[in-house]
């Protein structure tokens, strides 16, 4: 009769061991699944650097649009289109800061180690006339920002000069400058092409290069 409790204890221990052994792989699988999910969550988005650059391009353009449209709204709502000098300065400063930020130069590429100097090659006969030069690559965004700042300066002058007849003529170049900036951003910012049905195709930027020499094909 004394052996019976011992048997029960042994049976209980055996069952517990079997249950633990069966549950072990399940717990390990759940742990591995959580680990894989966490690694997937921590992984970067494929192509994130390029997409971030595109988002920044739009952000820079948007950062210019808001202060310029604020200035336009203030002028057009003002009595006879005239602003006090202090108000004009308060509105002009954010515009200038936004244009400067949007036109900031991109980070320079890392410099490569210098290679040993090579002997000079003999001079070749000129294939092009002296007046032909290598055409620099166009920078439509920089041109648009510069033109916009000039238009804004003209608007500020008209809005503080006391002549209401000059205000309307100064507003249109600012609006045109904003449209040019948006177009230059779309064409030269490496953004995806618009795909809305009914939109006309955007023109391509002119390619820079060397003029072709006469008689060459």
User: Which domains does the chain possess?
Assistant: 52-103+139-191 (1.20.120.330)
Q: Quote the mean pLDDT of the chain.
A: 75
The per-residue pLDDT for 98 is 94
pLDDT tens across 153-172, in order?
999 999 999 999 999 999 99
Which stretch of 87-91, 156-160, 175-179, 193-197 has the lowest confidence by average pLDDT?
Answer: 193-197
Which stretch of 16-20, 81-85, 150-154, 162-166 has the lowest confidence by average pLDDT?
Answer: 16-20
| Separation CA 56–CA 123 (nearest Å) | 46
Pair 141, 185: CB distance under 8 Å: yes
- Predicted TM-score (pTM) of the model is 0.62
87 vs 197, more confident: 87
- Is 41's pLDDT higher than 50? yes
Which stretch of 30-44, 48-62, 85-99, 174-188 has the lowest confidence by average pLDDT?
Answer: 30-44
pLDDT average, residue stretch 46-60: 85
The per-residue pLDDT for 56 is 85
Residue 67: name the closest of 156, 128, 130, 137 by CA: 156
């Amino acid at each position: 009769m004394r052996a019976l409790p011992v048997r029960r204890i042994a049976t209980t221990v055996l069952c517990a061991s079997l249950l633990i052994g069966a549950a072990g792989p399940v717990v390990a699988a759940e742990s591995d699944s959580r680990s894989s999910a966490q690694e997937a969550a921590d992984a970067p988005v494929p192509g994130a650097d390029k997409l971030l650059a595109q988002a920044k391009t739009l952000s820079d353009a948007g950062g210019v649009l808001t202060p310029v449209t604020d200035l336009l709204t203030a002028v057009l709502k003002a009595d006879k289109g005239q602003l006090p000098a202090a108000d004009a300065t308060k509105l002009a400063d954010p515009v200038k800061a936004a244009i400067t930020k949007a036109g900031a130069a991109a980070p320079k590429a890392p410099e490569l180690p210098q290679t040993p100097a090579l002997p000079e090659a003999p001079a070749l006969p000129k294939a092009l006339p002296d007046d032909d030069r290598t055409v620099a690559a166009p920078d439509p965004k920089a041109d648009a920002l510069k033109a916009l700042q000039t238009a804004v300066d003209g608007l500020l002058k008209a809005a503080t000069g006391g002549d209401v007849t000059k205000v309307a003529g100064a507003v249109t170049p600012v609006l045109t400058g904003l449209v040019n900036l948006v177009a230059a951003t779309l064409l030269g910012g490496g953004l995806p092409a618009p795909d809305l049905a009914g939109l006309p195709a955007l023109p391509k930027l002119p390619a820079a290069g060397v003029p072709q020499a006469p008689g060459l094909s």
